[in-house]
Amino acid sequence: MSDLEQEPLFLIIDDEQAICDSCFAVFTKDGYKIEIAMDGKTGLEKVRELKPDIVLIDLKMPGIGGMEVLKEIRKIDPNMVPIIITGYATIESAVEAMKLGSFDYLPKPFTLNELRVITKRALERRKLLLEAESLRREKETMQEKFISMVSHQLRTPLVAVQEYLEVILGGMAGKVADEQKHMLERIKIRVSELLSLINDWLSFSRLDESKISQKFKPLEITSLLKEIVDFMQPIAQENEIVLEIAPTNNTFIVNGDKELLRELFTNLISNGINYNREKGKVKIALNEENSNIVVKVSDTGIGMSDTEIPFIFDEFYRVKSKEVQAITGTGLGLSIARRIVEAHQGSINVESKLGEGTTFIVSLPKGGENG
């Protein structure tokens, strides 16, 4: 791939020798490198091999046509700038070409000046795309370094502090007076809260959709939910909350990452327990709707007002009612839940009424044995 600091590389894919010769003469005169392919198949081979900056594609060619070439180019390199050139110009074909990612559409016959104007704009576009890609990679590198720094330079010493507190509070370093013990317990709580925030932030930062999808496998989601419910029953019972799954004889399969989906539903069920009323209930129900598997996690808790609902998936947002002030949390749990759902090409919504309860509705594409 050219970085445009060297001579840009143009690829002409056209079965008309006159067009190829004309373009070759113009571009070489302007100082650009040129490659030519007389059919779509050869053109795609050169696209994969050479990674040109600009590709001029004839719409009508024997074998693989221009639209098919255009589709493949977007898969090979979305930062490549294609231009359709054709003697069969119609509004419909122009619209279709633009939808498929063509930068511009040049009807034949065209003047050399028209060709130069379009390719100059295409090169500017290419430069912007490469700069954006470079910035994206730089951002990813900085983020990875920052995550590593947070993990090692913040999390590790906090874990050590937590362990020392356990030793002191356990009396293994000598007798601890009641007043000192009370202060140390408060410190322990604050350290735990800070660790929870760091762990949630690390989880949020590491959610890369492109990498997550590589680990997807067919997963029977009912059994996963039963595992989570069994694990969380002691917590629910401690809070006098009834936790149950609506009975079903159906099998619900999605394609996904088991551990991330476990984190998603654990988070939602935990919210249902923590924000519930005394002797309340959390119920999980599954069904299939329009080729999607829908999971509803409902509670009989404090609910939310209409003004709060639009913000609950925002990072660090927490409901501000008096009832939740004593409940610890980082405000990242639902942001992480949304990122996990979106990485699985699904959606998450919420229905809630203040004082009556909340239902989170997760919709995931139905999966199968072959993914």
CATH number at residue 217: 3.30.565.10
Q: Is the pLDDT of residue 110 over 70?
A: yes
pLDDT at position 1 = 47
CA-nearest of 312, 292, 300 to 244 is 300
User: Do 92 and 226 lie in a common domain?
Assistant: no
Q: Is the pLDDT of residue 324 over 60?
A: no
- CA geometry: angle 329, 334, 337, nearest 5 deg: 130
The overall average pLDDT reported for the chain is 85
pLDDT in tens, 4-39: 567 899 999 999 999 999 899 889 888 899 999 999
User: Do 354 and 214 lie in a common domain?
Assistant: yes
User: Do 216 and 200 lie in a common domain?
Assistant: no
User: Do 247 and 351 lie in a common domain?
Assistant: yes
Whether residue 23 lies inside any domain: the answer is yes
| Range of the structural domain that residue 57 is part of | 9-110
Whether residue 35 lies inside any domain: the answer is yes
Whether residue 123 lies inside any domain: the answer is no
By percentage, how much of the chain surpasses pLDDT 70? 86
State how far the alpha carbon of 149 is from the alpha carbons of 73, 145, 205, 277, in Å.
38, 6, 13, 40
CATH of the domain at 63: 3.40.50.2300
Q: Is the pLDDT of residue 323 over 60?
A: no
User: Do 173 and 255 lie in a common domain?
Assistant: no
Q: Which residues touch 367 (CB under 8 Å, ≥6 apart)? A: 218, 219, 253, 254, 255, 256, 293
pLDDT at position 128 = 92
pLDDT at position 226 = 93
Residue 327 — φ and ψ, nearest 5°? -90, 120
Whether residue 348 lies inside any domain: the answer is yes
Choose the final residue of a domain: 206, 223, 249.
206
Whether residue 86 lies inside any domain: the answer is yes
In which residue are the tokens 């050590």 written?
A: 160
Residue length of the chain: 371
Q: How far apart are the C-alpha atoms of 236 and 275, rounded to whole Å?
A: 11
Which class for 253: exposed (0-12), middle (13-18), buried (19 or more C-beta within 10 A)? middle
User: Do 220 and 346 lie in a common domain?
Assistant: yes
Whether residue 138 lies inside any domain: the answer is no
User: Do 268 and 356 lie in a common domain?
Assistant: yes
Number of domains in the chain: 3
Q: Is the pLDDT of residue 371 over 50?
A: no
User: Do 157 and 280 lie in a common domain?
Assistant: no
Query: pLDDT-based confidence at 210, cuts 50/70/90?
Result: low
pLDDT at position 213 = 67
Query: pLDDT-based confidence at 242, cuts 50/70/90?
Result: very high
User: Do 248 and 337 lie in a common domain?
Assistant: yes
- CA geometry: angle 225, 229, 230, nearest 5 deg: 115
Query: pLDDT-based confidence at 281, cuts 50/70/90?
Result: very high
pLDDT at position 196 = 73
Choose the final residue of a domain: 64, 89, 110.
110
User: Do 294 and 154 lie in a common domain?
Assistant: no
Whether residue 231 lies inside any domain: the answer is yes
User: Do 22 and 98 lie in a common domain?
Assistant: yes
Helix (H, G, I), strand (E, B) or coil at 81: strand
More confident residue, 36 or 367: 36
Q: Is the pLDDT of residue 325 over 80?
A: no
Whether residue 336 lies inside any domain: the answer is yes
Choose the final residue of a domain: 89, 110, 131.
110
Average pLDDT on 44-66 reads 92
pLDDT at position 4 = 56
**Helix, strand, coil percentages, rounded to 5, for the chain:** 50, 20, 30
pLDDT in tens, 116-150: 999 999 999 999 999 988 888 887 777 667 766 76
User: Do 283 and 354 lie in a common domain?
Assistant: yes
